[in-house]
Amino acid sequence: MNMVIDMKQLYIDFDGVILDTITYPYEYVEKTLGLEINSENMGNFYKELNWHQFLQDMPVINDSINCIQKIIESNQFDVSILTHVNSLNEAHEKIEYIRQFFKDIKIIPVPRSISKTKMVLPAGAILIDDYCGNLKEWTEAGGIGVRFSTKLSSKGYPVIDRLDKILTLSIA
């Protein structure tokens, strides 16, 4: 007898969830370069960045790589990485980074100017993201938003501070 297990689709953001790629660049742009933190300045910084070295140097957040492995092994979710990118180089290096650990996981780079909800079908799917703007768009499109926050700041969403906590989180 063949049983088909209906796994829920789970999308995991990259920046601020898997690697801490946000804290350092914002501090560098503001303090070292003396520039205002805005989308233009950050976009320019990210486009010129040596993404390969940058990703190798950035800290993994709360054992996220091992947590993703645990989620995959649970067979509760069909796991994909859904990440905004500022350039093709950034997309390439994020894919290479994830491929060091996971050979079969789907990685979906999304141009910064496009909503994540336009790249995949959010209805009924879960998005784990640290940015509430993405979660708001996701839930408005029929998806389930889960906020990732190391300080457990929910801002109105179910919240986790480790990715493997999705395995025990009660969500609709």
Confidence of residue 5 (pLDDT cuts 50, 70, 90): low
How is the beta sheet containing 159-160 ordered, strand by strand? 106-111, 77-85, 8-12, 126-129, 144-148, 159-160
Rounded to 5 degrees, what angle do the CA atoms 19, 24, 30 make? 150
Q: State residue 9's pLDDT score.
A: 97
Choosing among 3.40.50.1000, 2.60.40.1120, 3.60.20.10, 3.30.413.10, the CATH entry for 8-21+60-167 is: 3.40.50.1000
Percent of the chain scored above 70 by pLDDT?
Answer: 96
* Environment class of 167 (CB within 10 Å of its CB; exposed 0-12, middle 13-18, buried 19+): middle
Read off the pTM.
0.91
**107 three-class SS:** strand
In whole numbers, what is the pLDDT of the chain averaged over residues? 92
Q: State residue 4's pLDDT score.
A: 47
Q: In the chain, where are the structural domains located?
A: 8-21+60-167, 23-56
Q: State residue 161's pLDDT score.
A: 96
Q: State residue 134's pLDDT score.
A: 96
Residues 98, 12 contacting (CB under 8 angstroms): no
- Between CA 33 and CA 45 the distance in angstroms is 10
Residue 30 has pLDDT above 60, yes or no: yes
- Between CA 43 and CA 20 the distance in angstroms is 17
Q: Which amino acid is at 30?
A: E
The DSSP 8-state label assigned to residue 78 in this structure reads E
Per residue in 94-142, pLDDT (tens digit) is 999 999 999 999 999 999 899 999 999 999 999 999 999 999 999 999 9
